[in-house]
Amino acid sequence: MKILIVNESDSKGGAARAAYRLHKSLLTQNIDSQMLVQNKESNDYTVDGPVTKIQRAVNQMRPTLDELPVSVYKHRTKTIFSPSWLPFSNIVNKINEIDPDIVHLHWVCGGMIKIEDIVRIKAPIVWSLHDNWVFTGGCHIMWDCEKYQDACGACPRLGSTKENDLSRRIFNRKQKIFSQIENITIVGVSQWLSDCSKNSTLLKDKKHINLPNPIDTTIFKPFDKEKSRELWNLPKDKKLVLFGAMTIGDINKGFNKLSDALYKIKDEEIELVIFGSSEPKESQNLGFKTHYLEYLHDAVSLVTLYSAVDVMIVPSLQEAFGQTASEAMACCTPVIAFGATGLLDIVDHKINGYLAQAFDSTDLMHGIEWVLNSENYEELCLNARKKVLREFDSKMVSQRYIDLYKDILDE
């Protein structure tokens, strides 16, 4: 069985990490897996990417070029929106040259594949959804918009009031192409995302299955807390709260909600740790000392950081799955999140963390206080890792994918 994993990158972003982890796990189970990417960051020979400097330079420009049609919408929100119109990527030609038994698509935007080219893929398709894009008129984060259940148009992410706007045109392009693709299986990485897809106009007639993102629990496991704090030069006598985002200003990551919650807490023992972002020019003045650790490039750094803190906060307004939450829990660190979207599959309220009422910063504050002062804190930590071992371990998840591939080929 020959599987081709296709994703825009092999390391940048949650979808890239999830796709690459699945790829590596399939290899350990003696599956002939190969990965094809638009932008290759690793030196892994099992990952196929651009070879020449010119190819790499052109591919790095493609995301910017693909977004050009979006630039005319002056009132759009600062969230990604992908028209996927850019021609001449040659990705589908490469897919067909490799000639796999199954093509497993993940996040293929950023100018990687033109919507109309997808129909040219010869092998059966498995498509893992890592956000809303596949079943919407171009947005990746839809929040409370339900226009995808109809035909999009007057898109709130574009700040548009016109029905026949860019989102409607992209929707129509997808509808035309998706109707021609019969052998396709849609994978929602959370139950919430799978349900959204099933209720969409574009994908409601396709086969669906819910499978989580895999995590290698032999790598993501608890490390000595005291030594971890020494490595990161973090205080040993403080309650450390962790938050991660590539950009603090990313509205979807909920930093404003976390800020509001922290302002309400009166505890001199708490300090905040932020990874993924550099310290901003203007101080956030959160009332607590804040440590900025910038972007972490490797799993070892993540493991020691997760192990160093007392709790991780994931206050996102929307998460397809919540990969950093599962990573932290694998390292025996409880997680606090809003009780909404993909995080519902990961955090169990007052068992391995705390699920605050959706987008309520006051209840988020209660969650932080409850976890940090819990008499059963050690039990929360142990339960967190047990949940990941039971439901998200890479060997188990990849075996479920293998079973899915076999079923598709048998059919």
* DSSP sequence for 188-223: ESSHHHHHHHHTSTTTTTSEEEE-PPPB-TTTS---
Whether 215 and 326 have beta carbons less than 8 Å apart is answered as yes
Give pLDDT, residue 283. Answer: 66
Q: Are 36 and 4 in contact (CB under 8 A)?
A: yes
Here the tokens at position 323 are 């990969």
Query: Tens of pLDDT along 169-198?
Result: 999 999 999 999 999 999 999 999 999 999
The reply to whether CATH 3.40.50.300 applies to domain 2-214+393-410 is no
Which run of H or E residues covers position 242? strand 239-244
The confidence score (pLDDT) of residue 279 equals 78
Looking at the predicted structure, is the pLDDT value of residue 321 above 80?
yes
Is there a common fold for 2-214+393-410 and 225-391?
yes
pLDDT over threshold 80, residue 71: yes
Q: Tell me: the pLDDT tens digits for 18-35?
A: 999 999 999 999 999 999
**pLDDT at 295 (0 to 100):** 80
The tokens 């900025």 sit on which residue? 292
86 pLDDT exceeds 90?
yes
Cβ atoms of 32 and 18 closer than 8 Å: no
Report the SS3 class of residue 54: helix
User: How far is Cα 191 from Cα 219, in angstroms, rounded to an integer?
Assistant: 26
pLDDT at 67 over 90: yes
What's the pLDDT score for residue 247? Answer: 74
What's the rounded Cα separation, in Å, for the pair 382 and 379? 5
- Return the higher-pLDDT residue of 279 and 192: 192
The mean pLDDT value of the chain amounts to 95
Under the banding of pLDDT at 50, 70 and 90, the label for residue 261 is: very high
The domain ranges of the chain are 2-214+393-410, 225-391
Instruction: Please determine, for residue 57, whether its predicted confidence score (pLDDT) is greater than 90.
Output: yes
Residue 288: pLDDT over 90: no
The fraction of the chain above a pLDDT of 90, given in percent, is 90
Question: d(Cα 198, Cα 213) in Å, to the nearest integer?
Answer: 19
State the DSSP code for 46: T
pLDDT reported for residue 347: 98
Least confidently predicted of 9-23, 49-63, 69-83, 278-292: 278-292
The mean pLDDT of 280-306, rounded to a whole number, is 85
Q: What is the mean pLDDT of residues 11-24?
A: 94
Average pLDDT of 352-367? 97
- At residue 164, does pLDDT exceed 90? yes
Residue 144: closest CA among 301, 359, 348: 359
User: Quick one: pLDDT band at residue 216, thresholds 50, 70, 90?
Assistant: very high
Q: State the pLDDT confidence band at 119, using cuts at 50, 70 and 90.
A: very high
Task: Tell me the average pLDDT across 390-406.
Answer: 97
User: Average pLDDT of 212-228?
Assistant: 97
Note the pTM of the prediction, 2 decimals. 0.95
Query: Where do the H-state alpha helices sit in 44-165?
Result: 53-66, 91-98
Best CA proximity match to 329, nearest among 238, 205, 242, 228: 242
More confident: 281 or 197: 197
The CATH number of 225-391 is 3.40.50.2000
Using the predicted structure, report yes or no on whether residue 280 has a pLDDT greater than 90.
no
